[in-house]
Amino acid sequence: MKFGLFGAATAQRSANPDVDSAAGFKDYIEYVIEAEALGYESSFIVEHHFTGFGQVSATLNLLTWLGAQTTTMRLGTAVLVLPWHNPVLLAEQAATLDLLSGGRLDFGVGKGYRHNEYASFRIPMEEGQARFEEAVDIITQAWTSEQRFDFRGKFWNFDDIVVEPPTKQKPHPPFWQGAGHPDSIKRVAARGHNLLLDQFASIDETMRRFNVYRDAMIGNGFGFHPHQVGVARAFFVANTKAEKDAAIERRMAAQKRLHDISQRPDQNNTASIMAFSDTREANEEATLFGTPDEICAKVERLRAQGVEYLLLNGGGTSRENLRRFAKEVMAHFRDEDPIKAAAD
């Protein structure tokens, strides 16, 4: 199995000149550097705006800095929300990161789900899917065309362009898409893109989504490998039930805050990620919270049904949690002990 990280740094916002707003970024970078040494595969970083509590907004900038501090870690976006970006400028920026990192970019994209972000950008949420699909078409052509080209679309028009620099990975960095509804998952598979599954759905629901994607990929003639699906899970290695329960309560409080800012005024946000994000059942069953034995049992349940790639959200940058998971969980599902390999 492969294990990566999923999440983000936090830049504290304060009017106090003595507060170092970059401290959260620096801490996260050091966290990822240690994760690389421990054998973690990747770091997928979110993109969000206007939260007021410092979630990452300039994802590619942070990943570029991170790429300069690491050597093997895959650098993932989870996800860049395409309706908000000029796709040609984004293609240039992402290609630059891929080139400078030696071909380590995993290009995760999505249409977004938070109402407050769409509203603040003054983009109708109803246009999200169409804007997303058009942007994917443009970026794909930009990365694969050796000749100058024109593009005429509903939202974007370009004349006589050639995107530079070229990407290191050919024909282009792998696309990853976040999706949860069956029709959305089938659209991912229609393009042959990799799939990101959210951290909130139960194991049974996650496996239903996994199987929809697998069957669609095979049906579309692309074939299928389990590493084409990254399953996000929150993780916390606890010593006692009390520690586990406290971690769940902290997680639920954080998720309620995110759920509230994401909801539409009519309370009718139908994004799949919203369906489970604020329930205790989701935080009990879907998370990898508990003792090492409890976590291993859940990982084994996922692996037995075909999952081979987990993306872990620690809800922060606890080094103890990172190290314990590597030593007491991850080592059981890999060919060699990552702690020993790092020491060698």
Q: Tens digit of pLDDT for each residue in 87-102?
A: 999 999 999 999 999 9
Mean pLDDT across 59-82: 97
Helix (H) or strand (E) holding 327: helix 319-328
| CA distance linking residue 276 with residue 282, whole number of Å | 6
Please determine, for residue 49, whether its predicted confidence score (pLDDT) is greater than 90: no
Please determine, for residue 336, whether its predicted confidence score (pLDDT) is greater than 60: no
Give the residues across from 152 on adjacent strands.
157
Under 8 Å between Cβ of 261 and 116: yes
Under 8 Å between Cβ of 154 and 135: no
Domain count across the chain: 1
Please determine, for residue 274, whether its predicted confidence score (pLDDT) is greater than 60: no
Burial class (CB in 10 A: 0-12, 13-18, 19+), 121: middle
User: What proportions of the chain, in percent to the nearest 5, are helix, strand and coil?
Assistant: 50, 15, 35
Give CA 233 to chain center in angstroms.
11
What's the predicted TM-score (pTM) here?
A: 0.91
pLDDT confidence of residue 325: 98
Helix (H) or strand (E) holding 233: strand 229-237
- Within 111-231, residue ranges assigned H as helices are 115-121, 128-144, 182-191, 203-219
Please write the tens of the pLDDT for every residue from 227-261: 999 999 999 999 999 999 888 888 777 777 666 66
Q: How confident is the model at residue 106 (pLDDT cuts 50, 70, 90)?
A: very high
| CA distance linking residue 233 with residue 312, whole number of Å | 5
Q: How confident is the model at residue 192 (pLDDT cuts 50, 70, 90)?
A: very high
342 or 180: which leads in pLDDT? 180
Under 8 Å between Cβ of 4 and 76: yes
Please determine, for residue 277, whether its predicted confidence score (pLDDT) is greater than 70: no
Q: How confident is the model at residue 269 (pLDDT cuts 50, 70, 90)?
A: low
Mean pLDDT across 97-125: 95
Q: How confident is the model at residue 190 (pLDDT cuts 50, 70, 90)?
A: very high
Q: How confident is the model at residue 271 (pLDDT cuts 50, 70, 90)?
A: low
CATH number, residue 68: 3.20.20.30
**Boundaries of domain holding 73:** 2-343
**Residues ≥6 apart with Cβ < 8 Å to 264:** 115, 125
Percent residues over pLDDT 90 in the chain: 72
Q: Which letter does DSSP use for residue 174 in this model?
A: P
Q: What is the mean pLDDT of the chain?
A: 90
Please write the tens of the pLDDT for every residue from 136-184: 999 999 999 999 999 999 999 999 999 999 999 999 999 999 999 999 9
Please determine, for residue 344, whether its predicted confidence score (pLDDT) is greater than 50: no
Burial class (CB in 10 A: 0-12, 13-18, 19+), 194: buried
Please determine, for residue 185, whether its predicted confidence score (pLDDT) is greater than 50: yes
